[in-house]
Amino acid sequence: MRLNCEYLPATEVARQELVLLHGWGVNSSIWRTLLIYLRPWANLRLLELPGCAPGAELDRGEPALQDILAGILAQGPRQAVYLGWSLGGQLAMVLAAQNPDRVAGIITVCSNPCFVSREDWPGMPASTFAAFRAGLRADPAAALRRFDSLQVSGSPRSRARMRQLQKLDRRPASEDLQYGLHWLETLDQRAALPDLNRPQLHLLAQSDELVPAALAQSLERLLSQTPGARVRLLQGSSHVATLDTPAQVVQEARKFLADSDLLPAVAAQPELLAKRDVADSFSRAARVYDSVAQLQRDVGEELLRRLDTLDLQPEAMLDLGSGTGYCCPALQRRFPLADYYGLDIAEGMVVYARGQQQQARGWLVGDAEALPLANDCMDLVFSSLAVQWCYRPQLLFAELARVLRPGGFCVFTSLGPGTLRELRAAWAAVDDHQHVNRFLPVAALQSAASGVPGVHLSLDTHQFRMHYQRVGDLLNELKTLGAHNMNRDRPGGLTSRRTLQGMLQAYERWREEGLLPASYDVVVGVMEKL
């Protein structure tokens, strides 16, 4: 069974892989409040669980629990820590018991290994559970509203939490939720938990009306002889602890991971350039950019032709790195029924484009590695010569996968490491400094995309050449475009006259038929969201 998976790589240094499993009656949106605390240090996979999430697509027939578990593992990395809330915590327990080689540890939040009470075990009374299940059969929507009220009961801000739950991107409730209720009723991991050979943390909420706080004592007794097992009680929280106390949940989880040697120290890679420098440089260039952008126009036209190979009629399309909006009219002529959105990291470019192309649906300032867009909102992302400024391509491809609808495409061009090789060689002849922007090779892009679930990327390269009378013409063009050297390790201060003259002389060796060439290594990519 294929499950919908949203992949969010760490925004800083990834120190752990986390797979997040939601509970019954909600979807992966229940984790949103935790992301700001988790993303700097963890690669995250948020799964939608059929039979548990309202409207999540089900295969024909009743989904077997083992099919769901296999689908979770299929979307997970080779090994990960599984973080489960409510029923998701029970699923994490089952996964750890059945597949210890794939589970580095488990963290459960407001989860009971045996949800329905037994003689010697606290939980929901069997009669209450049976009545709720009957209500779901009679009126799924009313039953889900009733369940929401039970989840927020005990919260210090119950009305606010109810509003948050109701704003989750949930589809209508249906009888398919009966499958998840069946698992909630029948799963019993009390015998398996003490024997787990993996670190485990169980977070319970002080004011939880569904998983009673008294469970903490029962769990502590059950796990008293189990190394690496912890039970903690969250103060001031109801069943929706991820909404009530998200910072406390992550604080406890991170401390547990560190104490369990599951949060290894990883050296941060130095940034090759500052995005702020890129944004400021292109903002300054906005009004004169098109006067010298012949290469950019040629590459943009080539990318527009690439659209002819795709079977696509988008309703919404994003021009990523839209610059002055040059490609906006062509994209709108090609897809007249689609809403066009332009986005650029440079505010100056967006302001200029908005004034030039007023027929667009909207213009946005944003970073390609952190798009200010909702999930599954675009059918096409078009990006010409912007990707080369993204030095964390896994973040880029994960964001593209997030905003594209299933079956959508991203077509893009980028610059490869062979770009301006003549200029690079001429500078190398006179000093050891970095004078020319560095760009990622095809292999780095392909490797990054392969780590993002649910996408397929194909790449090829094309060579473009521009010609100049003098090297100074090339340098002035790069400066006018805003594409001059922006590497962090670029030389500081002014280049000496002697060094500059040496570079100019070295470049002359490339002259052919009276002109100086400047080569551009252009990468063309087509990414499909499966």
CATH for 128: 3.40.50.1820
Same domain, 184 and 300: no
Domain membership of residue 475 (yes or no) is no
Same domain, 66 and 107: yes
Same domain, 251 and 279: no
CATH for 449: 3.40.50.150
Range of the domain at 334: 275-418+438-466+520-529
Same domain, 286 and 254: no
Q: Of these residues, 22, 117, 155, 208, which one is catalytic?
A: 208
267-325 tens-digit pLDDT: 877 777 788 999 999 999 999 999 999 999 999 999 999 999 999 999 999 999 999 99
10-45 tens-digit pLDDT: 999 999 999 999 999 999 999 999 999 999 999 999
Domain membership of residue 190 (yes or no) is yes
Same domain, 239 and 289: no
Same domain, 234 and 308: no
Same domain, 282 and 232: no
Q: Of these residues, 29, 86, 238, 414, which one is catalytic?
A: 86
Domain membership of residue 246 (yes or no) is yes
Q: Report helix, strand or coil for 459.
A: strand
Identify whether the C-beta of residue 411 lies closer than 8 Å to the C-beta of residue 459. Answer: no
| d(C-alpha 215, C-alpha 528), whole Å | 46
Same domain, 121 and 245: yes
Active site residue 456: no
459 has which bridge partners?
525
Active site residue 447: no
| Helix or strand run (H / E) with residue 316 | strand 316-320
Domain membership of residue 204 (yes or no) is yes
Active site residue 86: yes
Domain membership of residue 142 (yes or no) is yes
Domain membership of residue 141 (yes or no) is yes
Looking at the structure of the chain, the number of domains it has is: 2
Identify whether the C-beta of residue 83 lies closer than 8 Å to the C-beta of residue 107. Answer: yes
Same domain, 280 and 234: no
Last residue of a domain, one of 259, 287, 307: 259
State pTM to two decimals. 0.91
Domain membership of residue 357 (yes or no) is yes
383-426 tens-digit pLDDT: 999 999 999 999 999 999 999 999 999 999 999 999 999 999 99
The region that residue 145 occupies, defined by phi over 0 for left and psi between -120 and 50 for alpha, beta otherwise, is alpha
pLDDT for 202 beyond 70: yes
Domain membership of residue 382 (yes or no) is yes
Identify whether the C-beta of residue 151 lies closer than 8 Å to the C-beta of residue 162. Answer: no
Structure tokens at 95: 């996964």
Same domain, 385 and 410: yes
Q: Of these residues, 202, 239, 290, 521, which one is catalytic?
A: 239
